[in-house]
Structure 1
Amino acid sequence: MTGEPDQVALCFPGQGIPAADLACGLRRLSPGRADRLLATLSAHSLDDLDLTDTRVVQPTILALSLSGARAMAPRTGDVALVLGHSFGEISALAYVGCLSEEDALRVAAIRGELCWKQSLQRDGAMVAILGLPPAEVEWLRRRVLGNLPGAQLETAAVNGPRQLVLSGDRPAVHTAAEDAIAHAAEARILPIKGAFHGPHMAGAVPDWAKFLDTVEIREARIPFVSSTEVRLCATPAEIRRALVRALVLPVRFAAALDFAASQGVRTMVDSGPGTVLSKLVRRHGGFARRLTASGR
């Protein structure tokens, strides 16, 4: 792929999408895809969905992301590679044929259920910190842990050189947010119930791995980049391993974008509802064009 002009990649968002953007996307969902989503969620109406519930949000993002990616096909042409941010890897794998859409919805539902159960075990939250370099965020994180013995607070995502996400116990997360603001940074508590990509999710790994062993995963027909391992994963064994570990490992989205650029990608398409990834790509730089399925 390297050296070819204007290669296109699709990126698929994870769970940090505002409920209003999800609701907007649902209004445009095709009847067939809406019916499949409702069947997965054992729900009767899209209007009744709780778009703050992890068990609902993950299958919903999958349905909306696949719908967005299909709608963008006439504008994108051939796709050179795909990547996903956190849960978005499930959507990416469905798009490239590693998972059937039916299986992907089932995978999303089980993942959402497992993550929801873990969030009940220990109250957690996540915060995006903008404006501080990684070393300063790490210094902040360690200070918080020093003042809150026994607390958990981990780096959950590196979205850019000055945009990191911390995940952990709710008091630790809120203390980190206050500390960041005191140091002239911006801190945003994410609209996610739970502490993802850290020890809070470790308890779900055995059941998640066991479930994935029952799911048919095919080789990717379009290169798939793991955003936790920052490499191409092509075989079912590689993909399964990456998915299992991604529950706990941090998302290295900035590095994944660099990898995509190194493969000749010059156009990055945010396939999901909202503009979360499009904004990350804009701040990251390095791409000639950015497109969004949401049209925003």
Structure 2
Amino acid sequence: MTALDFGIVFPGQGTKHELMEQALLLHRAHPLVQQLFATFGALEVDDLDLHDTAVSQPVTYVLGIAAVESKLGSEVRLPLVFGHSLGELTAAVCAGIIDVHSGFQLALKRGRLCRDRGVHTPGAMVAVAAAGLDEIEWVRRRALASTPGVLEIAGINSGRQAVLSGDAAVVAKAVELAEEECLRTELLPISGAFHSPRMIAVLPMWRRAVAAVEFRAGHSPFLSTIDARSHTDPEEVRELLIRALLMPVRWRETLQAAREFEFTALLDAGPGQTLVKLARRDPIVPIEALEDYRPAG
């Protein structure tokens, strides 16, 4: 198994569809991509409905794995791996804690559960950028005061950006209030209140799915974005992946924790370069695009 001096990070759902389509075409011959197409009865990229989270989640998972294996091979030892939201599952596979095919089945299950929950209780997610997180909390509380429902901080990506998740009407109110404050907002292409209490209804089904999969000691350090700590106990990783459906993504804290590990850089496996862009706005540790990586020799 080859040892490398850089870590790998994996994005969650939310990559622009055109970037996902490009990545699917690039990795079309990869066995896992072929399995993905067969699973959804797709012959061409256009046959995949990337607007459907039941499709886009496993697509994101598959493309992350395909990118790493295409660039680095299927057996690499890394100094660190972690992921954002869905990317936490991909990272657990890359770390050797879950086998790649079990990871694919979990990505399919997670996508279906999230889709079904969004249909039953429509939700939305929005990224809000401000001078500080206190401004985002000010918007969140006022939105809840005027439009009762659920609105939670689903992730803290930097000292100036967080993602809000909740009922569609409350998210819409938060966007309105944020824009009144001249804050920048970006609605995510997601139709559910992920990483919020709205996901509690599907948690038992997700727990059963994760419990059915074998978890083992990995070969690479795994850093969780749920508690911003490294884990070697496979059962701890199992429980974290279960809780991740409701818990916020502590991305900024996890990047700070990553500085304790020895690596020359972190590489964003994609699809897209979401994590590269986040690192440019809040340069705690350098993150580069895996697609731009050129191995020595």
Cα distance in 1 for residues equivalent to 2:41 and 2:99? 19
Contact (CA 8 Å) 1:85, 1:253: kept in 2 or not? yes
Cα gap change, 1:294 to 1:193, in 2 (>3 Å): farther
Residues 221 and 232, structure 2, Cα contact 8 Å, conserved in 1 = yes
Partner of 1:126: 125
Q: Report what 1:90 is aligned to.
A: 89
1:159 aligns with 2:157: yes
Q: What amino acid maps onto 2:237 in structure 1?
A: I
Given the alignment of the two structures, is residue 70 of structure 1 paired with residue 69 of structure 2, yes or no? yes
TM (normalized to structure 1)?
0.92
Identity across matched positions, percent: 36
Cα shift at 1:263: 2.3
C-alpha distance in structure 1 between counterparts of 2:278 and 2:47, whole Å: 31
Shift of the alpha carbon at 1:179? 1.2
Distance in 1, matches of 2:79 and 2:238, equals 22
SS of 1:68's equivalent in the other structure is helix
Aligned to 1:41: 40
- 178-187 vs 102-111, which deviates more? 178-187
SS in 2 for 1:27: helix
- Check conservation: 1:8, 1:78, Cα contact below 8 A: no
Which of residues 255, 258, 266 is equivalent to 2:256? 258
Structure 2 match to 1:274:
272
Provide the C-alpha distance between the structure 2 equivalents of 1:280 and 1:216, rounded to a whole number of angstroms.
33
3-state DSSP of counterpart to 1:56: helix
- 1:152-211 Cα deviation digits (max 9, x unpaired): 100000000000000001111111112112212100000112111001111111111111
Cα distance, 1:72 vs structure 2:
3.7
Q: Is the 8 A contact 1:56 1:112 kept in 2?
A: yes
The residue that corresponds to 1:3 in the other structure is: none
Task: Indicate the SS of the match to 1:113.
Answer: helix
8 Å CA contact 1:71–1:293 kept in 2: the answer is: no
Cα offset, 1:30, TM superposition: 4.1
Which runs of no fewer than 5 residues in structure 2 stay unpaired? Answer: none
TM-score normalised to structure 2 length: 0.91
| Residue 240 of structure 1 pairs with residue 270 of structure 2 | no
- Aligned residue for 1:196, secondary structure, equals coil
Q: Is the 8 A contact 2:130 2:136 kept in 1?
A: no
User: Contact 1:9–1:260 at 8 Å: present in 2 too?
Assistant: no
1:40–1:109 contact (8 Å) kept in structure 2: no
Range that drifts further, 173-182 or 249-258: 173-182
Counterpart in 1 of 2:186? 188
Q: Is there any run of 5+ residues in structure 1 with no aligned partner, and where?
A: 1-5
Name the aligned partner's letter for residue 66 of structure 2.
S
Q: Distance in 1 between matches of 2:160 and 2:264?
A: 22
Residue type at the aligned position of 1:48: D
* Partner in structure 2 of residue 100 of structure 1: 99
1:227–1:253 Cα contact (<8 Å) kept: yes
Partner SS state of residue 253, structure 2: helix
Shift in Å at residue 7 of structure 1? Answer: 4.7
Count of residues in Structure 1 that have an aligned counterpart in Structure 2 = 287
